[in-house]
């Protein structure tokens, strides 16, 4: 199968189309990127997250999390982070440099909670225990809606995207800013 050679504008458009698709398609390989942050000791920390929203006009990505999770504390100390996406179907890797703000209250959080609270995932945000806390016994998380929820939205403002395409005909790499494009050595 021959690789389709896309130009700069087509690549930029395809990246955002795929990111938006990933928020709806549970089978998209870009739905679950790796989020890398820096912990309190300055060591790297990485985990898989779920991409929930992609806004091309504002260059923003949204991820839901528990407001008590270690990543929230890490981002409070250092809001610069990296999201890494891989698509075998496209043979594309994205390294997305972002600055993340954490929303724990307000109309947007309320709207998201109204949807999430009706799903099985609601229990993740209702637990009296924080993510990573030791369980006293077998896991049995309450779905009791009388507990306050701990849902937070990580709003990742895209700073730049390092795009890499692996192809038999030759690898290609570029660094994309909001209004810039620079080809790089793969």
pTM of the model: 0.92
User: Is pLDDT of 144 > 70?
Assistant: no
Cβ within 8 Å of residue 155, ≥6 positions away: 60, 61, 62, 100, 101, 102, 103
The answer to whether residue 185 scores a pLDDT higher than 60 is: yes
User: Of 67-71, 72-76, 141-145, which range is least confident?
Assistant: 141-145
Distance in angstroms (rounded) separating the CA atoms of residues 186 and 171: 6
The answer, yes or no, to whether residue 49 has pLDDT greater than 60, is yes
Q: What pLDDT was estimated at residue 139?
A: 64
pLDDT at 8: 94
Q: Which residues make Cβ contacts (< 8 Å) with residue 186, sequence separation at least 6?
A: 164, 170, 171, 172, 173
Under a CB-based contact definition with an 8 Å cutoff, are residues 178 and 98 in contact?
Answer: no
Nearest CA to 98 among 82, 86, 85, 84? 82
């Amino acid at each position: 199968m021959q690789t389709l050679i896309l130009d700069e504008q087509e690549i930029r458009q395809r990246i955002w189309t795929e990111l938006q698709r990933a928020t709806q398609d549970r089978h998209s390989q870009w739905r679950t990127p790796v989020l890398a942050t820096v912990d309190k000791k300055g060591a790297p920390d990485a985990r898989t997250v779920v991409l929930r929203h992609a806004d091309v006009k504002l260059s923003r990505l949204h991820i839901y999390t528990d407001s008590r999770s270690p990543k929230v504390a890490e981002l409070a100390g250092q809001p610069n982070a990296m999201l890494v996406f891989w698509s075998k179907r496209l043979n594309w890797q994205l390294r997305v440099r972002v600055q993340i703000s954490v929303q724990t209250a307000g109309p947007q959080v309320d709207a998201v909670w109204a949807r999430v609270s009706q799903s099985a995932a609601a229990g993740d945000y209702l637990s009296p225990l924080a993510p990573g806390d030791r369980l006293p016994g077998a896991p049995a998380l309450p779905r009791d809606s009388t507990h306050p929820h701990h849902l937070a939205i990580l709003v990742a403002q895209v700073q730049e995207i390092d795009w890499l395409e692996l192809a038999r005909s030759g690898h290609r790499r570029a660094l994309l800013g909001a209004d810039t494009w620079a080809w790089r050595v793969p």
